[in-house]
Amino acid sequence: MPRIKLDKIDRQILRDLQESGRMTNVELAARAGISAPPCLRRVRALEEAGYINGYHADLNPEMLGFGVTVFAQVGLASQAEADLVAFETLVRDWPLVRECHMLAGEADFLLKVVARDWDAYNRFLTLELTSAPNVSHVKSALAIRRSKQVSGAPIEADEDG
């Protein structure tokens, strides 16, 4: 993907799309202070360059019956690259795991897991996670409440890019 140098208009477009991905191109262009055709060209260039990964609806897990969020710190018996990749590949097939981050430090991975209830998480933990190849230990932390959730990155329209 070709990397492009972001100017003030590009950063404004990214900030506005990050805030509201359903915004029309006409509204996006007006906010950026340009006309619609060049705005659309900029958005496509930002997509092609990899600045925009995609567009999605931000769903509420609790409304869908997933009332438990757990952060699982996973330690592997081996940190060889092939074993790390094998674990990441396995995680992709677990729908309850919503995020997976490789870490430096005491744990090798941090998983964000949603489940209908504590019993459902415990079944996932015992039947899937702790029985997975190379998993040596799991430390679970039950989330009590979420006070902030912001995706993406902070973008200032006037910073140098």
Average pLDDT over residues 30-45: 96
Q: Is the pLDDT of residue 159 over 70?
A: no
145: its two tokens = 């409440």
Phi-psi region of 134 (alpha: psi -120 to 50; beta: other; left: phi over 0): left
Distance set, CA 1 to CA 26, 49, 50, 52, 109 (Å): 26, 5, 7, 12, 28
Check whether 120 has a pLDDT greater than 60: yes
Residues 46-53, mean pLDDT to the nearest whole number: 94
CA-closest candidate to residue 33, choices 55, 3, 11, 18: 11
User: What domains appear along the chain, each with residue ranges and CATH number?
Assistant: 8-48 (1.10.10.10), 62-142 (3.30.70.920)
Model pLDDT, residue 2: 63
State pLDDT tens for residues 60-77: 999 999 999 999 999 999
